[in-house]
Amino acid sequence: MGAMQTNLEPKKILVVLHGSIGDVTRALPLANLLDRGFPKATLAWAVEPPCLPLVEHHPAVDEVILFDRPRWWSQLGPFLRRIRAGRFDLVLDLQRHLKSGIISRWSGAPHRLGFHRLDCKEFNWVFNNHHIPAVENGISKFNHYLKFAEYLGLVPEPVEWKLSLTKEEQVGVDRRLANVRGAFATLFVGSRWESKGWFPTQISSCATLIRKRYGLNVVLLGSEPDATLAGEVEIACGQGITNLVGRTSLKEAVGIIARAKIAVGPDTGLMHIAAAVGTPVVSLWGATSPSRTGPYGFEELVIQGKADCSPCYRRHCPIGRVCMQSIEVETIMAKIEIGLSRERNGAPVYETQR
């Protein structure tokens, strides 16, 4: 199956991708390609609250349609009415689940582009009438999204994220980093899946060595559920650690990561944000595979833990995360050495909204 066999010139495009943070971040370059390839079209994005900050002020996104899933019983009707009222002529279903398929079909758009049936879940393919070629997890998820651009006849480059912060968000970043003197590294403390997390001893040893060998301060980032783990790391390290876990907005975290010299952590949304803003990121892998979901552009900084069952794709590990335990701190430090020697990617890593 090749490119879409139509001289399509859409006027109103809808992207359906509600989450996760990593997925939405990886799809931003596709939004930029759509904006460049169809300059007369408007682009709407259907998303859920956790990922809203990534798209609501994005230069390629003209409208955000929010689905507040925790309050779905009161939000579903208005959400679907807004989808239908959009009168979209092209939908890109990037979620590949039943829910996104239903949203795509409900839109009434004459052209609904989704994943091939071999790459879908929950009969998602039934709801769309155009499908990109099958890859069956043969490529990274990032490149999988770019297949949508190719199918539409768009050149899948340049790769640009264009993550931006408002002046108020920049001030928030300054405030969070007020006590951080000089250059710093950022460590991502936790992950949404328990099975993907690294251990407090690994984190604290890594932080201590970063300070000792490179003279960098260390900033801990993560979400509220990671606060207990971050507290353990803070106690183990003593001074020289700035613990911002659960204390930043997502956009503040973007700004902090953009200013860091290096980032380290497991498979998490913040890992993909680091790649998006050009900060070298050392990524730690066990329960999942970097070949499918690794950070774009930093493949040489990947560390794969060793266990017979890895990758298992289980949210909870019954054997104590043997794969993550196998990652030696000195192995992490060797990758940090490589990351710190890399040149940053050209121009400023994010734009300021005026």
Instruction: Indicate whether 169 and 41 sit together in one domain.
Output: no
Phi, psi of 27 (to 5 degrees): -90, -10
Kindly give the residue spans of alpha helices, DSSP state H, lying in the chain. Answer: 21-37, 52-55, 72-85, 98-106, 141-151, 167-176, 200-214, 227-237, 250-259, 269-276, 290-293, 322-325, 329-341
What domain range includes position 47? 12-151
End residue of a domain, out of 151, 176, 191: 151
Q: Are residues 117 and 224 in the same domain?
A: no
Question: Do residue 146 and residue 285 come from a single domain?
Answer: no
Backbone angles phi and psi of 352, in degrees to 5: -100, 125
* pLDDT tens track for 223-238: 999 999 999 999 999 8
Which one-letter amino acid corresponds to residue 234?
E
Phi and psi, residue 282, nearest 5°: -90, 115
Q: Give the pLDDT score at 268.
A: 95
What percentage of the chain exceeds 70 in pLDDT? Answer: 95
Nearest-CA neighbor of 99 among 77, 127, 71?
127
Kindly report, residue by residue over 110-132, the tens digit of the pLDDT: 999 999 999 999 999 999 999 99
Return phi, psi of residue 242, to 5°.
-110, 110
Q: Minimum mean pLDDT among 136-140, 197-201, 316-320: which range?
A: 136-140
pLDDT recorded at residue 250:
96
Same structural domain, 122 and 187? no
Provide the pLDDT for residue 44.
Answer: 98
* Same-domain pairing of 251 and 301: yes
- For residue 71, the domain's CATH number is 3.40.50.2000
pLDDT computed for residue 72 by the predictor: 73
Examine residue 156 and state whether it is found in any structural domain, yes or no: no
313-352 residue pLDDT tens = 999 999 999 999 999 999 999 999 999 998 665 434 444 4
**Residue 1 domain-assigned?**
no
Contact call for residues 202 and 232 (beta carbons, < 8 A)? no
Task: Say yes or no to pLDDT of 133 above 90.
Answer: yes
In-domain check, residue 50 = yes
Which of 151, 186, 207 lies at the terminal end of a domain, its last residue?
151
| Residue 58 in this model has a pLDDT that exceeds 70 | yes
The tally of domains found in the chain comes to 2
Residue 136 pLDDT more than 80?
no
Structure tokens at 63: 């409208």
Asked if residue 4 is part of any domain, the answer here is no
Give a yes or no: residue 2 inside a domain.
Answer: no
pLDDT tens across 139-188, in order?
A: 999 999 999 999 999 999 999 999 999 999 999 999 999 999 899 999 99
Residue 159 lies in a domain: no
| Domain C-terminal end among 121, 151, 181 | 151
Q: Which 3 state secondary structure label does DSSP give 69?
A: helix
Distance CA 53, CA 162 (A): 13
Whether residues 97 and 182 share a domain: the answer is: no
In a domain? residue 106: yes
Sign of the CA dihedral with 190 first, then 264, 141, and 285 last: negative
Categorize the per-residue pLDDT at 4 as very low, low, confident or very high, splitting at 50, 70 and 90: low
Same domain, yes or no, for 193 and 128?
Answer: no
Q: What is the pLDDT of residue 1?
A: 44
Between the alpha carbon of residue 59 and those of residues 95, 267, 272, the distances in Å are 22, 27, 19
Q: How far apart are CA 10 and CA 39, in angstroms?
A: 10
Q: What rounded mean pLDDT belongs to the chain? A: 92
